[in-house]
A and B are shown apart, each in its own frame.
Chain A
Amino acid sequence: MSNPVAPPAAARRRNVLPGFGLSLGFTLLYLGLIVLIPLSAAFIKTSALSWEQFWAVVTTPRVLASYRLTFGASLVGALINAVFGLMVAWVLVRYAFPGKRIIDALVDLPFALPTAVAGITLTAIYAPNGWVGKWAAAQGFKIAFTPLGIVIALTFIGLPFVVRTVQPVIEDLERELEEAAASLGASRLQTFLRVILPAVLPALLTGFALALARAIGEYGSVVFIAGNMPMQTEITPLLIITKLEQYDYTGATAIAVVMLVISFVMLLAVNLLQWWAKKLTGREA
């Protein structure tokens, strides 16, 4: 309320709305207290280590194995989602079939379903005595408690990202372009590869990056199905918790800093992709 209705004196159009000081002040205070100060604690705690000490903690064989697993499984999950997410988005926008609206709403289930519930449910399905796990066991392989199970959990958790970023772009595609391509003699496949795909690509990459970022940090849906064997099926977030339970706060924080830096890089990549998509299509991806 520090900004009473000001006379339009200045050359620039003055903003007459009140409450700027109050709302921005509260925003910054709350942001600082809840997010920025606690986040800085991780960096300050780690800065007590020398670079060599830090490097030694975050590159032990067990930690390196957890990075490989976390990134590998996240990458595979995000790739699966890129392929099937694009297909699902296409089908939901372009085709009519019974039950479409319910299916469209159901796509957001992984956002709405608590991760622990997803975790125990996927485990129940894919464990050797579960509905799908039984079938896999008969074929002689295991899904739950192997990296394959982790990929399935991460695919589930990232499913809505690609669909929901690509869907509005497909809705906005200009059919005239496809007609032009067709009238110039392009086959449907050529039209898809040369006209549709380039238009959808920035959104597809954004969705892929969002799914990947989410998968890398994911914990709840993975711990149950993973098996959690050190060096084999132990993801990085779980390793942080293990170190915390052993009161190794320094080690846990050092690994957390690595994850934070990766998160920030992913966030930057997503922002760049969205900026690119906006420039290309003139709308938010």
Chain B
Amino acid sequence: MTYAIKLDIFEGPLDLLLYLIKKNEVDIYNIPIAVITEQYLNHMELMRSMNLDLAGEYLVLAATLLNIKSKMLLPPEEKEEGEEEQPDPRAELVRQLLEYQTFKEAAFNLGQRTLLERDVFKRGIVPEVKTEPGEELIEVDLFQLVEAFREIVSGLKGEDLLEIDTEKMSLSDRIHEIMERLSVEKSMHFRDLLADVHDRRMIIYTLLAILELMKMRIVKAYQTHAFGPIRIFLAVEE
């Protein structure tokens, strides 16, 4: 099995460039383009070898760096009397870097604030859930739900039953059924929802119903640990 690892080390090409400038302790207004460009390209190579998905933006900035580098290699044009001085080919990049750095700082500052539901709380609206000490609930995403679904389906007995379509059940019927059970029980295991369901179509309807309800933010799915049982909660609207 291969694992695709995604490391969010850099937020993007500008972030990588800022990192290199800091690492080399060079002046942002006087970037040694040749050195920085080389290191930038090395980093790109490294990220590629680690199987990181390199966004096209990294390439764009690489091209910009190479373009600046080549411009700086050219001898300055002969200046005629009264002609304005050639602009520094790095000027636009420096402006961009400074602007990004400012917003990075602003973002950091936002993250340091006293956040609601992290540092301070208002009167309860989030459903309280009994957990074992040390356990934390993790919100489940689509993929975990699909994985749990796959497990359940694969656990079904492979009896070949000839099915006669007696009652037609629609997706919205299943949604109403689940909502009804949830409004009584407040929360239930994903597995329980499928406990007495043997019909393949019903299983699919159940999954679709849950996905639909999650999308509409009517229910939420949580688990206490990775690969743990998934519980479905009624989401209380604020």
Are A and B a genuine interacting pair, yes or no?
Answer: no
Chain B residues packing against A (C-beta within 8 Å): none
Chain A residues packing against B (C-beta within 8 Å): none
